[in-house]
Structure 1
Amino acid sequence: MSAFSDALSVTSSGLKAQANRLRVVSENIANVDTPGYRRKSIPFELERNSTSLARVEAGQVSLDKRELERIHDPSHPMADESGHYEGSNVNLIIEIADAREAQRSYEANLKMFDQTRQMSTGLMDLLRR
């Protein structure tokens, strides 16, 4: 493989991983008020079939083991005899911060992908002369 295709491969793996991360974060945000919902997280791992390149891939989604928030609302249909039910353990502030970080990382990978493509095009133009 050429250096250009290697660079494109590494940046595209980063784009895919950050897209998966954004999907998980958006699921968490959508379910912030869902009773019994546990926050999901997704780790990044080195790609298993990767040779010497540092390609990443999204790992397996895991659920947050922290306790669910106990909410007192006797009128809620899921409330027990004491008037409590289990909410979610999603913290909206953390999810927004994670979304911003994933978005910025995605944009950085996209910029690198575009720079590599432009350099490759420039090299091809030079070789044609």
Structure 2
Amino acid sequence: MSAFSDALSVTASGLEAQARRLVHVSENIANTDTPGYRRKTVPFELGREDAHGVQRVAVGRVTLDRGALPRIFDPAHPLAGEDGYYEGSGVDLIVEIADAREAQRSYEANLKMFEQTRDMSQALMDLLRR
């Protein structure tokens, strides 16, 4: 039965990682028009091995995109300098939507694996009861 619990814990870690990714993607989308905002990214890493040698998905440190922020010309904006420019947001809405879809599909795949493992475990228990 440890193989079932190992599979459940690996898929659960995948679910948690994708959920954390979706949180940061939604924060990025919410700040698309915030001047000076830098896009957040979350790397995935291999977690520590447990007693059975199983590695789970771990979420790394949140990093900010260090790319150049777009300069926007709007002399009436309160953040504009003497030249009329201010720094816009470093978020590209198309990229964030693509990341959200990828995270959603990965979450759904992990959830499907979790459900299948649970169903297989239940079927095994039913067989053992007979």
How high is the TM-score relative to the length of structure 2?
0.96
- Residue deviations 1:59-95 (CA, integer Å, cap 9, x gap): 0000001011100011110000111100111111110
Q: In 2, Cα distance between the equivalents of 1:4 and 1:48?
A: 19
Is contact 2:24–2:41 with CA below 8 Å preserved after alignment? yes
Q: How far 1:121 sits from its partner (Å)?
A: 0.5
Q: In 2, Cα distance between the equivalents of 1:63 and 1:78?
A: 21
Is contact 2:24–2:40 with CA below 8 Å preserved after alignment? yes
Let me know the Cα RMSD of the aligned residues.
Answer: 1.1
Q: In 1, Cα distance between the equivalents of 2:32 and 2:65?
A: 13
Fraction of identical pairs, as percent: 72
Q: Secondary structure at the match of 1:82?
A: coil
1:10 aligns with 10
Q: In 1, Cα distance between the equivalents of 2:65 and 2:50?
A: 29
Could you tell me which runs of 5 or more consecutive residues in structure 2 were left unpaired when the two chains were aligned: none
How many residues were matched structurally?
129
Q: How far 1:50 sits from its partner (Å)?
A: 4.0
- Residue deviations 1:34-75 (CA, integer Å, cap 9, x gap): 000000100001113545223111100000010111000111
2:34 aligns with 34
Could you tell me which runs of 5 or more consecutive residues in structure 1 were left unpaired when the two chains were aligned: none
1:66 aligns with 67
How high is the TM-score relative to the length of structure 1?
0.96
Q: In 1, Cα distance between the equivalents of 2:114 and 2:18?
A: 14
